[in-house]
Structure 1
Amino acid sequence: MQKLNLPSYNFKLKSSENKTLIFDKLRKKYMVLTPEEWVRQHYVSFLIDEKKYPVSLIALEKQLTINNRKKRTDILVFNKEGNHEIIVECKAPSIKITQDTFDQIARYNLKLKANYLIVTNGLEHFYCRMDFEKETYIFLKDIPDYK
């Protein structure tokens, strides 16, 4: 898999039926290693190891319904009160991050009301803090560490 613009982590990999699998420490099972899953697993490790977010506050592929259609967030981080704090949208490294990507995460956030939005393809990372009064987001250089 491609080297990402994130720290390197030691992942448990195995082969099964001609597919490479990666162990997901949150879901506690092996997942098919797609380019998007590679980015998701790196970003989860980044949140836990570098930003110090507790594993207990991170959920993967959380389902939500928007306009009667079922969608899934890639990574959802809660705060201590159990409210949505961060939504992370992961794309494969080959996918260019466009306005459509931001529109997708913004639609999710109309429902979830998270304070921060992150869009990443593992090579580029965009961080935003929500300004709910002005109904916009403010780009940041980074997201805050867990307090």
Structure 2
Amino acid sequence: MDSLNLPAYEYRLDKRDGKLVIFDPIRKKFVVLTPEEWVRQHFIHFLASNLGYSMSRMSVETGNKYNQLQKRSDILLYDEFMKPLVIIECKAPSVKITQNAFDQIAVYNKTLKAKLLIVTNGMAHYACWFDEEEQKVSFLEKIPSLQELKAMI
């Protein structure tokens, strides 16, 4: 797999049914290693190890219904009251981040109402603050740590 613009970590790989799999600490199982999964697992560890987010408040590929359509957010982080706080959309490193990725995460947020929206392909990372009252999104210079995010709320 490609090197990413994220800190390295000690991942667990295995081969099952002829496919390479990686251990997901959130789902607590091995999952097929795709380029998007490579980004997702690195980003989970980056959030937990470098930014202070708790893995116990993360979920992966969480189902979310919007206009009768079933959607899945890649990573969802909850606050201490288990309300959605951060939504992360992961793309494969080869996928260029475009307006479509932001539109996708904005659709998810219509029902989730998270404060922070992040889009990453493992190489480029974009963070947006969502002001629910004004229905306005503004880009942040960097991805805030949990402590910084709490100070913003």
Same fold (TM over 0.5): yes
- Equivalent residue of 1:102, what SS? helix
CA distance in 2, matches of 1:107, 1:78: 18
Matched with 2:130 is 130
Letter in 2 for 1:145: S
CA distance in 2, matches of 1:131, 1:71: 22
Matched with 1:11 is 11
Letter in 2 for 1:54: S
Q: 1:67-86 counterparts in 2 under 5 A? A: 67-86=67-86
Letter in 1 for 2:106: A
- Equivalent residue of 2:146, what SS? coil
Matched with 2:66 is 66
| Larger proportion of helix | 2
Q: Once superposed, what is the RMSD of the aligned Cα atoms?
A: 0.9
Task: Write out the 4+ residue segments of structure 1 that deviate beyond 4 Å after TM superposition.
Answer: none
Q: What residue ranges of structure 1 are gaps of 5+ in the alignment?
A: none
Moved more, 135-144 or 32-41: 135-144
Structure 2 residue 1 is matched with structure 1 residue 38: no
- Equivalent residue of 1:47, what SS? helix
Matched with 1:53 is 53
Shift of 1:62: 0.6
- TM-score scaled by length of structure 1: 0.97
CA distance in 1, matches of 2:142, 2:91: 18
CA distance in 2, matches of 1:51, 1:59: 17
- Equivalent residue of 1:38, what SS? helix
Instruction: List per-residue Cα deviations over 1:1-22 (Å, max 9, x = no partner).
Output: 0000000011000112221100
Instruction: List per-residue Cα deviations over 1:75-132 (Å, max 9, x = no partner).
Output: 0000112111100000001111111110000010011000000000000100001122
Count of residues paired in the alignment: 147
CA distance in 1, matches of 2:83, 2:17: 40
Shift of 1:144: 2.2
